[in-house]
Chains A and B, each alone.
Chain A
């Protein structure tokens, strides 16, 4: 059964509240932290959380976003040693939630939304907003991939003359 995506925005332009507790944005940020390996403070420090939340809300239907955040809200309540296993199996391993979660990682790391996989779109519908794009110039500049690499984004946050001749940050202790 192919399901059409719901129109998310109300006439006033706001998103209707999700029924996943009092603060869905906070749930979005804590899920993002688990997915990206960056702390919630680091994510908040990019200034991008609200924009990325909006990208997700405008691109995915309300029930799907609700399901993703509700699932994460349940996982968060688990003992920490169980959280990773449940994140892996019930979100990343889920045929509906997995592609959405991986796209959130890409959103944070590159500032890009990538069109969801064909199989996912056949299952849940092809939203016109679901196009591959850099979501904004600022999103590019705030891509976490550059932070993870220990460098500035190419073309932004210039490090200054001759900086490239200096010793870089050390590599992580051991490769994983």
Chain B
């Protein structure tokens, strides 16, 4: 990998990409393959670009309390990341300033991202479901939100490209539902990640129907596609674009050939895969042709410059020699290219656009920063009956989903949900095993064989099911900047304004009924279900169903920052066009999950990757 923390731009570039995460990396890969020269500016440090440095972050993870997504990577004072360790419920009128992002509420956003080389793929779970066709036309199908400027047919070939570029393990037959289709001669580059023992046990009880409020709904446990190395398929599975013979070669860890070609069941995907069997953008960056790219780390883009004709005319960045250098010693540098790609993350993209020019750039629609979404994650938890012997705490965080509620006529009334069946006990519900030690040793005063037996009996039976909920675009959910909240190097801290509408709360209330029905099918008695929220719960929010009485709901962030520079068909209400090119600046592309007009329920990285490859085609057309 050609990393130059103290390096300089070198010669002429066709494209400058701001952000060294998965989206920037995939675009760089596609452009350099066509002999374009690319400069990548990464604000953070070169985390894990060598094998020993990556191992050091594994060690940091071992020694961390709590083991949050960012735990392996020490905070970088020059390019801070939101940590979301203590997510506070917000007092009206008093912004929460405790994290890098300023939270004004009324609800906490509470999701993390990682500002370092590799971006948030350093600590993502790696689930890669496609979006379903109706997700692209929510307004015309269900009268909610907006339609995308593209439909499933426009993106489906790019999904195939992205699945092979990232290296996704899956079986297409498991994914062909709600209109998702694949070419006949195509399949994922690797076979699906095996379902956990827990999944297999639950499948015997869950598959079938559930009845909720008198209505029957089919339910089944199905595999999830993962960006995680598994058993490779023949290269012929690439279909029409197949090149060569033999099998797909799973990409090993960066800096060594001897590890990472299979998921080894470390069960720590978030926050870190010790063997790098899980994809991170480091793998793509590592494959870029040396002579056609320059990668500058510790280089924080602070402003885009615009010419009188409306074209972007340069990027100003500040490259800090080390993380302790005083700001005043870091001089700004301007670099230029033909095209500019903003791939710095939904929140950071919006921040940089708002901070550029006299009144922001690319913002004639006034949509920059608006329509911020996440997938509020609703969790329910219980102890499964002993005879199931679930054997939790093994394998990736989830190996299966219940996909049946990702689409349906109900979306005119309430949010869709994608359901993850967990493999790590009660994980984010109660933070075991520490919480169990606290309860058993300090609460119940257990010790000796009684303690050992209780742990052996209970923890493998902990079952947590998570409901990933759809959120609609709302203009008041947004990222802004404010001179009162400045960060390092003269940059802004993002200010987040966030709420969750009744559409999503209604979906959550339904998810709770669904959860009860599913636990009932498994044969879990009510006194073994521990789901409970009150106003002290993180992410607490009340909800009153029509004709019902008020209930207490709660959510945690999924780390899926969506919206903030949405794509559309006209410049009056969107920031970029279908190729993610700015309506206002023809040589500026704004890419990533921020371009999504709606959130749907799929983990967004795969779709953002497919869109990035689509945008790269437009860049190649512009460059000629």
Contacts and interface: CB of A to CB of B under 8 A. Distances in A.
B394 interface: yes
Given A163-B395, A164-B196, A176 B265 contact: no
B264 interface: yes
B197 interface: yes
Nearest to B198: A164
B63 A37 contact: no
- Most chain B CB within 10 A, of A102, A109, A155, is at A155
A146 B268 CA distance: 14
A150 B197 CA distance: 14
B429 to A, nearest CB: 16
B433 interface: yes
Contact of B452 (A36, A106, A132): A36
Contact of B457 (A37, A101, A171): A171
Interface string B374-417: 00000000000010011101111001000000000000000000
A148 B456 contact: yes
B180 interface: no
A112 interface: yes
B265 A36 contact: no
A84 B446 CA distance: 12
Interface in A34-90: 34-38, 84, 87
A137 interface: yes
Interface string B58-76: 1101111101000000000
A171 B424 contact: no
B455 interface: yes
B447 interface: yes
Contacts of B395: 163-165
B267 A136 contact: no
A11 B423 CA distance: 50
Interface string B27-70: 00000000000000000000000000000001101111101000
B329 interface: no
A124 interface: no
Contacts of A143: 433
Contact of B59 (A87, A137, A148): A137
Nearest to B72: A155
B434 A110 contact: yes
Interface stretch (B79-87, B437-445, B483-491): B437-445
A149 B459 contact: yes
B62 A140 contact: yes
Interface residues of B, number: 57
Contact of A168 (B67, B197, B450): B197
B421 to A, nearest CB: 13
Nearest to B397: A154
A154 B393 contact: yes
B274 A160 contact: no
B266 A154 contact: yes
A159 interface: yes
A149 B456 contact: yes
Contact of B393 (A133, A149, A162): A149
B385 to A, nearest CB: 11
Contact of A162 (B265, B441, B460): B265
Contacts of B200: 165
Contacts of A138: 62
Interface string B166-192: 000000000000000000000000000
Contacts of A150: 391, 456, 460
A171 B394 contact: no
A171 B456 contact: yes
Nearest to B58: A155
Contacts of A160: 264-265
B453 interface: yes
A148 B436 CA distance: 12
A161 B441 contact: no
Nearest to A167: B197
Contact of B442 (A102, A133, A152, A164): A102
A154 B396 CA distance: 10
A141 interface: yes
A159 B272 contact: no
Given A158-B265, A164-B265, A168-B389, A134 B459 contact: no
Contacts of B230: 161
Contacts of B461: 171
Given A164-B197, A164-B395, A110 B437 contact: yes
B449 interface: yes
Nearest to B457: A175
Contacts of B264: 158-161
Contact of B194 (A110, A162, A168): A162
A2 interface: no
Given A37-B449, A164-B399, A175-B458, 19 more contacts: A36-B448, A36-B451, A37-B452, A101-B447, A109-B441, A112-B65, A134-B62, A137-B62, A137-B63, A150-B460, A151-B393, A155-B268, A156-B266, A158-B275, A164-B267, A164-B423, A167-B389, A170-B389, A176-B457
12 contacts: A102-B441, A105-B437, A140-B62, A145-B433, A150-B391, A154-B424, A155-B266, A162-B194, A168-B197, A171-B460, A171-B461, A176-B453
Q: Which 5 A-B pairs have the closest CB atoms?
A: A164-B395, A168-B391, A155-B268, A37-B452, A137-B62
